[in-house]
């Protein structure tokens, strides 16, 4: 701006030449000539009636020079970086087509991935490049101020992940503190009252305290019905939680997600950070462990809007304002169910086995969000991890051993055998395929003695060391009854070989005697 002023004054007021100004200011003559011509053009327009507004020439002179950088090439945006960015965008397209549009990688994730790969590139460069390929308007949120320990926001979200090789839609419960953005999340198969209560119990147990107020939108698990245009009646499940943990609650207005903008953003933020990089797990429990690790990593990140303090730092400040902790709230429902002819009970169209002696009887099932515990006359008889599929069968082989003892041939094609651990299937195929009844006796013995799988494998290892070609349940029982006496047993190959040789010689003698006797009989 100073150089522009010196050029105009030097040429029009002092009468300096273009070359002289260029030498004095160390600027290219073409640049000096361009500013002079631009000023002359504006001045000529000034004298034409009505072409320039009063003061427009002065405003133009006062403007700083602008440079056209639209054709400037990026020095660090290499072909390798462009290829990686396009691969991420293509993967985002595939996820949108699979219905995983909430788990795509955003610009910051792509940038972080490039930095992790060792590329020296700026975040702005990546944003500008992606914006040219896919230009979308960013969502706006309203910034508010909160007191420490006062408000925590809750919301549900959905995530699509692979569990056991199958794409599943899981429900993501998310808590976010309004003061410090401390985040917690857990996954469930359903978005019902039990899972709603279980999510709160896990969160309060995780932070070992309770927030004074929890904010909800108009979700079915929190709002039972609307009373008038603005009043809402809470569900019984929410009232139970509020009474037990002694926290207050309030609801957002209809279609006013900005009133709980922290958790609205956190649902997508956590889902994106967690499942855009990894979305395949063996079980829901494994996915929850991974999700909690991601939340802890996010809570350790400095926040630019809070003087670079982490969410953990701000949460430590909130602790003194929170309500004291309570014992973990157990969310469950009691159902009285009749055991069918397959010795199973049915919960939400899924079958769970119970011990066979209760067939035809009515038992009490305590149904939790993640498990089912069965009782008969106040005595616990079994428990199962709860599943949320369609007509699934969860069967334990131990529940049918007495029946299988009478019908051993039925074990191979049974649903119960298909669900046993792979180690037991290996033992059956290797040692008991021709004698399933003896295998049933083994399972009964394991159940009665409460032997662990490791102990069973140890017993078979000892038996195969002593007599590898003769495996039976009776010998397994003998080894176990002798406890560890077989640990120090070592076979003496010299004695064994001598015994085998002697037995062969005796057999040969007996064979010769029989031949002689036959010959004498013929005489």
Ramachandran area for residue 438 (φ above 0: left; ψ -120 to 50: alpha; else beta): alpha
Contact 345, 365 (CB under 8 A): yes
Residue 499: predicted pLDDT:
61
What letter does residue 391 receive in the DSSP assignment?
A: S
- To the nearest whole number, what is the mean pLDDT of the chain? 83
Is residue 209's pLDDT more than 80?
yes
Rounded Cα distance, 99 and 159, in Å: 9
Residues 6+ apart with CB under 8 A from 451: 445, 459, 480
pLDDT digits (tens, 9 = 90+) for 283-299: 999 999 999 999 999 99
Contact 160, 179 (CB under 8 A): no
Is residue 54's pLDDT more than 50?
no
Strands 350-353 and 393-394, how do they pair? parallel
Mean local confidence (pLDDT), 450-462: 90
Residue 495: predicted pLDDT:
54
Rounded Cα distance, 204 and 216, in Å: 16
- Long-range Cβ contact pairs of 386-394 (< 8 A, separation 24 or more): 386/347, 387/189, 387/350, 388/189, 388/190, 388/348, 388/350, 389/350, 390/349, 390/350, 391/349, 391/350, 391/351, 392/350, 392/351, 393/344, 393/350, 393/351, 394/350, 394/351, 394/352, 394/353, 394/419
Residue 264: predicted pLDDT:
63
Q: Helices 18-25 and 29-47 meet at what angle, rounded to 10?
A: 120
Q: Which of 308, 320, 313, 273 is nearest to 292 (CA)?
A: 273
Across 52-66, 266-280, 455-469, least confident range: 52-66
Is residue 16's pLDDT more than 50?
yes
Mean local confidence (pLDDT), 156-168: 92
pTM of this structure: 0.57
Across 124-133, 179-188, 433-442, least confident range: 124-133
Mean local confidence (pLDDT), 255-284: 77
pLDDT digits (tens, 9 = 90+) for 476-491: 898 888 864 444 444 4
**Angle, CA 198 vertex, CA 168 and CA 179 arms, to 5°:** 100
SS3 at position 491: coil
The model's confidence at residue 512, banded by pLDDT at 50, 70 and 90, is: low
Residue 354, CB half-sphere, CA atoms under 13 Å: how many? 27
Contact 260, 217 (CB under 8 A): yes
The model's confidence at residue 76, banded by pLDDT at 50, 70 and 90, is: confident
Rounded Cα distance, 211 and 232, in Å: 21
**Angle, CA 348 vertex, CA 345 and CA 351 arms, to 5°:** 35
Residue 517: predicted pLDDT:
42
> If you average pLDDT over each of 66-70, 100-104, 264-268, 282-286, which comes out highest?
282-286
Is residue 360's pLDDT more than 90?
yes
Please report the beta strands in 254-330, taking only residues with DSSP state E, as ranges in sequence order: 280-281, 302-303, 309-310
pLDDT digits (tens, 9 = 90+) for 170-199: 999 999 998 888 999 999 998 989 899 999
> If you average pLDDT over each of 93-107, 258-272, 450-464, which comes out highest?
450-464
Residue 73: predicted pLDDT:
66
Is residue 14's pLDDT more than 70?
yes
SS3 at position 138: coil
Is residue 518's pLDDT more than 50?
no
pLDDT digits (tens, 9 = 90+) for 27-53: 888 888 888 888 787 777 766 655 554
Across 78-92, 205-219, 241-255, 360-374, least confident range: 241-255
User: Which pair of structure tokens corresponds to residue 348?
Assistant: 């939400």
Backbone φ, ψ for residue 452 (5° rounding): -80, 165
Is residue 282's pLDDT more than 80?
yes
Rounded Cα distance, 57 and 55, in Å: 5
User: Which pair of structure tokens corresponds to residue 110?
Assistant: 């792509």
User: Which pair of structure tokens corresponds to residue 114?
Assistant: 């490039």
pLDDT digits (tens, 9 = 90+) for 135-156: 655 555 566 678 888 999 999 9
The model's confidence at residue 18, banded by pLDDT at 50, 70 and 90, is: confident
User: Which pair of structure tokens corresponds to residue 478?
Assistant: 């003998």
Residue 257: predicted pLDDT:
47
Q: How many CB atoms lie within 10 A of CB 354?
A: 24
Residue 523: predicted pLDDT:
31
Q: How many CB atoms lie within 10 A of CB 188?
A: 21
Is residue 254's pLDDT more than 80?
no
Residue 103: predicted pLDDT:
83
Length of the chain: 523
pLDDT digits (tens, 9 = 90+) for 393-417: 999 999 999 999 999 989 988 999 9
Is residue 261's pLDDT more than 70?
no
Mean local confidence (pLDDT), 96-115: 86
Residue 520: predicted pLDDT:
39
Q: Is domain 151-321 classified as CATH 3.40.50.880?
A: no
Higher pLDDT: 497 or 29? It is: 29
Across 55-69, 351-365, 434-448, least confident range: 55-69
């Amino acid at each position: 701006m100073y150089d522009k002023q010196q050029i105009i004054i030097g040429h029009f007021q002092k009468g300096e030449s273009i070359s002289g100004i260029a030498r004095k200011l160390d600027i290219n003559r073409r640049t000096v000539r361009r500013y002079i011509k631009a000023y002359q053009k504006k001045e000529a327009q000034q004298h034409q009636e009505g072409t320039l507004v009063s003061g427009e020439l002065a405003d133009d002179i006062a403007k700083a020079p602008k440079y056209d950088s639209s054709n400037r090439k990026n020095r660090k945006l290499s072909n390798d970086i462009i290829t990686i960015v396009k691969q991420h965008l293509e993967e985002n397209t595939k996820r949108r087509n699979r219905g995983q549009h909430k788990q795509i990688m955003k610009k910051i994730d792509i940038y972080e991935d490039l930095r992790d790969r060792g590329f020296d590139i700026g975040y702005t460069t990546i944003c500008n490049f992606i914006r040219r390929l896919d230009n979308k308007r960013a969502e706006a949120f309203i910034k508010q101020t909160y007191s420490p320990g006062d408000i925590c926001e809750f919301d549900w979200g959905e995530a699509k992940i692979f569990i056991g090789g199958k794409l599943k839609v899981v429900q993501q419960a998310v808590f976010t503190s309004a003061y410090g953005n401390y985040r917690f999340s857990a996954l469930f198969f359903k978005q019902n009252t039990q899972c709603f209560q279980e999510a709160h119990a896990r969160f309060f147990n995780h932070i070992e305290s309770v927030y004074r107020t929890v904010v909800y939108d108009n979700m079915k698990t929190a709002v039972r019905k609307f009373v008038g245009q603005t009043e809402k009646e809470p569900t019984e499940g929410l009232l139970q939680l509020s009474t037990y943990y002694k926290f207050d609650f309030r609801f957002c207005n209809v279609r006013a997600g900005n009133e709980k903008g922290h958790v609205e953003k956190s649902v997508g933020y956590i889902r994106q950070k967690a499942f855009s990089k990894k979305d395949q797990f063996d079980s829901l429990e494994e996915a929850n462990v991974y999700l909690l690790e991601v939340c802890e990593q996010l809570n350790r990140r400095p926040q630019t809007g809070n003087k670079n303090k982490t969410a953990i730092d701000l949460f430590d400040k909130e602790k003194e304002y929170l309500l004291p902790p309570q014992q973990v709230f157990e969310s469950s429902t009691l159902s009285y169910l009749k055991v069918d002819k397959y010795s199973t009970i049915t919960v939400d169209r899924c079958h769970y086995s119970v011990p066979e002696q209760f067939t035809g009887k009515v038992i009490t099932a305590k149904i939790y969000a993640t498990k089912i515990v069965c009782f008969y006359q106040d005595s616990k008889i079994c428990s199962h991890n709860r599943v949320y599929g369609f007509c699934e069968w969860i069967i334990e082989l131990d529940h049918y051993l007495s029946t299988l003892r009478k019908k051993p041939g039925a074990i191979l094609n049974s649903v119960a055998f298909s669900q046993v651990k792979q180690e037991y299937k290996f033992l059956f195929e290797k040692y008991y395929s021709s004698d399933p009844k003896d295998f049933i006796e083994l399972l009964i013995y394991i159940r009665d003695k409460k032997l662990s799988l490791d102990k069973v494998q140890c017993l078979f290892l000892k038996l195969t060391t002593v007599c590898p070609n003769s495996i039976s349940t009776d010998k397994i029982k003998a080894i176990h009854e002798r406890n560890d006496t077989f640990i120090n047993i070592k076979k003496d190959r010299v004695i064994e070989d001598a015994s085998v040789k002697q037995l062969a010689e005796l057999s040969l003698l007996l064979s010769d005697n029989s031949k002689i006797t036959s010959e004498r009989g013929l005489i």
